[in-house]
Amino acid sequence: MAKVQLRKSNWEEEVLKSDIPVMVDFWAPWCAPCKMVSPIVLELAEEYEGRIKVGQLNTDEESEIAIEYGIMSIPTLMFFKRGEVIDQVIGAVPKEYIVQKIEEVLKHD
Task: Tell me if residue 16 is catalytic.
Answer: no
Which of 6, 34, 54, 102 is catalytic? The answer is: 34
Spatial strand order of the sheet with 84-90 comes to: 3-5, 53-58, 22-27, 76-81, 84-90
Contact criterion met (CB below 8 Å) for 31 and 75: yes
Which of 15, 31, 44, 98 is catalytic? The answer is: 31
Known catalytic residues? 31, 34
